[in-house]
């Protein structure tokens, strides 16, 4: 899969850094549909597998939500580059989510996010995480964007 | 009941649903932030829901004017040309 944004650009854009960075590549950005597709390679080296769970590595649902939220920030940065260029703080307002099946080591987690509404001070997106084309998590995320003082 | 009264009723129900403020407390004059404890994230949801339900686009510069249900009605009246 060709990356439209590589890890360098992702690191430059997201305030989250290793080991709390859960997007490896941006696969596609569709400005007309206001959507983004990102990839997270789920690896045994991901720090949370040390404890979740020993001998039975399952990606925590909250981390899947965090990965979708990070993909949402990348979508926001792609569609609102002026605001995002000022390196604001992003914060979660509300998350409605459903989890369908576990995500395990070796899975390619596709993060698909579509904007419902984006404003200078926040946004609402619908997001899906998929493995092999199957939806493992779906969520609607409301987030805020606040300039740094 | 006029068309716009029906719309008002629908908006009140929608705002109540998002904010979990009972409809009877949602008077036209009560201010969202001070009287009702509605935060900016809820306001964003209210805007998105109204846009979806009534197929209108609320311009970003109008959003700060939405400080009470009465103001929502005024804005919607303007956008729907009622």
- Predicted local confidence at residue A3, as pLDDT: 76
B40 touches A at CB < 8 Å: yes
Residue A42 lies in a domain: yes
**Does A52 participate in catalysis according to the annotation?**
yes
Indicate the pTM of the whole model. Answer: 0.93
Of A52, A80, A114, A140, the active-site residue reads A52
d(CA A133, CA A100): 13
Across the interface, whether the CB atoms of A117 and B51 are under 8 A apart is answered yes
What angle separates helix B3-19 from helix B69-80, to the nearest 10 degrees? 130
| Helix residue ranges, H only, chain A | 7-13, 61-79, 81-85
Residue A68 lies in a domain: yes
Range of the domain at A85: 7-146
Burial of B25 by CB count in 10 Å (0-12 exposed, 13-18 middle, 19+ buried)? exposed
The residue-averaged pLDDT of B34-55 equals 93
pLDDT per position as a tens digit, A36-73: 999 999 999 999 999 999 999 999 999 999 999 999 99
pLDDT per position as a tens digit, A76-94: 999 999 999 999 999 999 9
Residue A1 lies in a domain: no
Q: Which CATH number is A40's domain given? A: 3.10.129.10
Q: How many domains does chain A have?
A: 1
Asked if residue A120 lies in contact with residue A136, where contact means CB atoms within 8 angstroms, the answer is: no
Q: What is the set of domains in chain B, with CATH numbers?
A: 3-80 (1.10.1200.10)
Residue A45 lies in a domain: yes
The shortest C-alpha distance from B40 to chain A (Å) reads 8
d(CA A20, CA A85): 21
Share of chain A above pLDDT 90, in %: 96
The CB-side HSE value for B49 (13 A sphere, CA atoms) comes to 18
- DSSP assigned state of B69: H
Model confidence at B4, pLDDT cuts 50, 70, 90, reads confident
pLDDT per position as a tens digit, B8-22: 999 999 999 999 999
d(CA A48, CA A58): 9
Map residue A117 onto helix, strand or coil.
strand
Residue A2 lies in a domain: no
Residue of chain A minimizing CA distance to B60: A119
Which is nearest to A17 in space by CA: A55, A59, A58, A47? A47
């Amino acid at each position: 899969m060709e990356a439209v944004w590589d890890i360098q650009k992702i690191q430059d854009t997201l305030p989250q850094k290793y080991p709390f960075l859960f997007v490896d590549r941006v696969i596609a950005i569709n400005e007309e549909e206001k959507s983004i597709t990102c990839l997270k390679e789920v690896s045994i080296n991901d720090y949370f597998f040390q404890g979740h769970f020993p001998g039975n590595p399952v990606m925590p649902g909250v981390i899947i939500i965090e990965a979708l939220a990070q993909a949402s920030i990348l979508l926001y940065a792609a569609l609102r580059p002026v605001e995002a260029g000022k390196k604001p703080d992003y914060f979660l307002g509300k998350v409605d989510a459903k989890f369908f099946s576990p995500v395990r080591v070796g899975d390619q987690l596709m993060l698909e996010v579509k904007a419902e509404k984006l404003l200078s001070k926040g946004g609402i997106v619908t997001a899906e995480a998929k493995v092999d084309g199957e939806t493992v998590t779906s969520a609607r995320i409301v987030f805020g964007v606040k300039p740094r003082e | 009941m006029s068309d716009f009264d029906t719309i008002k009723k629908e908006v009140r129900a929608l705002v109540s649903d998002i904010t979990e403020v009972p409809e009877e407390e949602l008077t036209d004059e009560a201010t969202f932030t001070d009287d009702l404890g509605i935060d900016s994230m809820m306001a964003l949801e209210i805007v998105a829901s109204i846009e979806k339900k009534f197929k209108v686009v609320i311009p970003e510069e109008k959003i700060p004017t939405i400080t009470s249900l009465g103001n929502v009605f005024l804005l919607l009246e303007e956008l729907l040309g009622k």
